[in-house]
Chains A and B, each alone.
Chain A
Amino acid sequence: MTDLTQTLAPARPGLAGRLRLALCIFAVLAVVPPLAHALDEPFLIVVATRMMVFAIAALSLDLILGYGAMVSFGHAAYLGLGAYAVAILSRAGIDDLVLQLLAAMAASAVFATVTGAISLRTRGVYFIMITLAFGQMAFFFFVSFSTLGGDDGVALAARSTVLGMPLLQDAPGMFYATLALLVAVFAGLYRLTLSRFGRVLTGTRESALRMQAMGFRPFPYQLTAYVIAGCLCSVAGVMLANQAIYVSPAYMSWHRSGEMMVMLVLGGVGSLTGAMAGALVTIALEEGLARLSEHWRLGFGLILVGVALFSPGGLSGLLRRVGLVRDAK
């Protein structure tokens, strides 16, 4: 009962806390390129760009997983759809980022509408598994797509242009474009989750039965959220392809989907800021540990197990217990 009243209560004090934390993260990110120049470590900009790309992906997953309680194990498919939209369009001579973003989102919307409508017939473990099945279908489709390199993937000729300007060509340009998209996605989702739509979605997460009793049919809300999340994740895919100048089916393997869930759970589910922080921390950990040892997965895995066992609620849970953030959820 307390859950429901908490969720539906307008203007909770904790909202300001997580928003402030998000703004802090953006501010820190904004000074990364000059800092990297000062330290003479240009590699940092590349790593930070990757971190933000996955932050966009994790944010999109948080909408369905955190707010809609739809645990999708096939979300990496949209990352791949975005990346392949770039590969296919640039091969056809269309290099403009805006057009590529629109195409990626359109393709993802179609895929998400069809697979989402089927997946939402199931519940719980079955939902997790059917989304996994659709993710694997997309994965194998592109693995056998031999004109685009199949299993090996395909290198892009160059990064996309933005309305004719070569904004993404250097690392800082790529960085700030990704940051702008990250801020936009965060702001959009923040507004969305506070809107009537967001409240219905959250209400469905708490109890679909009660929402139905109140006269809401959950399905259209859940499906809309599923489609929006897919579209936003494809934005991350477009940026990932541009950052790496390379596209491969590995972007959409089940490992990626699992990793995206891990980011989310690590950061804390259902607060947007947690998803973003989780993605940043996950990629930073991976990159940092990979520099220490080739067996970095051992340490990374141990950290994940440790967090799962000893810190329910991930980083947000930890911060809340330490008292740094009050009611981050």
Chain B
Amino acid sequence: MTAALELSGLRKSFGKTEIIRGVDLAIGQNERHAIIGPNGAGKSTLFNLITGRFPQTSGHIRLHGQDLAGKAPYEINRMGLSRSFQITNIFPKMTVFENVRCSLLWSMGYKYNFWSMVSKSRALTDGADQILEQINLTARRDLPAGVLSYAEQRALEIGITIAGGADVIMLDEPTAGMSHSETDYIVDLIRKVTENKTLIMVEHDMGVVFGLADQISVLVYGEIIATGRPEDVRANSKVQEAYLGEALEAEH
């Protein structure tokens, strides 16, 4: 079986500085994979490379076996990969409902359609309402997204990310800046909406990581120093030394 996402020999330099220094990683179908590592390790850069936000210097990224080289973000999205952002990235002036509806348009085949009314489509309205139900924002349906609370905006962002029906979901620090109760809410939400999907996430909160992930990769200075099941990674001495000891201590 081909991996959902496969990185081989991936490198990225900005000028003379090499940020990603040869990453090899295979993430299987329906796996929940967390990427952890200290600040500045290149986690977000790795995300941006995979989603086509900027091009890699060398190496390959394959989504379901297909090379993504030279593909624009919208093309990658159409191939079934969707992502959220570290800084909330929604359409703040549109209503919550419209945010979700916009994210359904392409996957429902509307493309650049300029001859049908969006409000007349039952499939669109029902689909968007279903997503709202899933992310518990039905009560906020007709409010502009910009006025929601931070946790609600993060939930909406996850809703937008999954709405298009992509089977590979990438979440960049979904619980950053949240209180404990908000974090629990988002973790439950992520678990619910990524069922039977491949999840790749960057996360700093070790509670979230060990609670959600089947597999963990540790990225330090642009290299993956360990990949494995949570308990193996936790016991790995290299990881302990480089990062996790510190991070776990900080948790307590």
Pair from one complex:
no
B interface vs A, CB < 8 Å? none
A interface vs B, CB < 8 Å? none
